[in-house]
Amino acid sequence: MYITGGRVIDPWQGLDAVADVLLQDGLVRWTRSAGGDAPAGARTVDARGMIVAPGFIDLHCHLREPGQEHKETIASGGLAAARGGFTTVCAMPNTEPAIDTPERAADVARRARETAPIRVLPIGTITVGRAGRQLADMTALAGAGCVLFSDDGAAVIDPALMRRALSESAQLGIPLSQHSEDPQILGGAVAHEGEAAAQLGLPAGPASAETRIIERDVALAAETGGRLHVAHASTAGAVELIRAAREGGAPVTAEATPHHLTLTDRALLGERGPQYGWPSGPAADTSLRVNPPLRAQQDVDALVQGLTDGVITAIATDHAPHAAEDKARGFAEAAPGISAIETAFGLLMTALVHTGRLDVSTLITRLTLGPADVLGARAEAEGLRGLTPGASADVVILDPNRAWTVRADRFASRGRNTPLEGCTLRGMVIETFAAGRRVHSVMDDAAAPTRGAGRP
Active centre residues (catalytic): 318
Report in angstroms the alpha-carbon separations of 318 from 30, 60, 90, 209, 271.
Answer: 33, 5, 10, 19, 22
User: Of 277, 410, 450, nearest to 354 (Cα)?
Assistant: 277
Q: Identify whether the C-beta of residue 123 lies closer than 8 Å to the C-beta of residue 100.
A: no
Helix (H, G, I), strand (E, B) or coil at 105: helix
Residues paired with residue 392 on neighbouring β-strands, in sequence order: 27
Q: Identify whether the C-beta of residue 83 lies closer than 8 Å to the C-beta of residue 56.
A: no
H helix intervals, 187-229: 195-200, 208-224
> How many other CB atoms are there within 10 angstroms of residue 373's CB atom?
16
Instruction: Give 450's contacts (C-beta < 8 A, 6+ positions apart).
Output: none
Instruction: Give 41's contacts (C-beta < 8 A, 6+ positions apart).
Output: none
Amino acid letter at 120? V
Maximum separation of any 2 CA atoms in the chain, in Å: 67
Amino acid letter at 32? R
Q: Identify whether the C-beta of residue 296 lies closer than 8 Å to the C-beta of residue 217.
A: no
H-helix or E-strand spanning residue 16: strand 15-24
Torsion of CA 405, 408, 412, 413, to 10 degrees: 130
Residue 394 zone, left/alpha/beta (φ > 0; ψ -120 to 50; rest) = beta
H helix intervals, 296-376: 297-309, 324-327, 344-348, 360-367, 369-375
Instruction: Give 7's contacts (C-beta < 8 A, 6+ positions apart).
Output: 16, 17, 18, 50, 51, 52
d(CA 231, CA 90): 13
- Provide the edge-to-edge strand list for the sheet that holds 86-91: 56-61, 86-91, 119-122
Q: Identify whether the C-beta of residue 98 lies closer than 8 Å to the C-beta of residue 68.
A: no
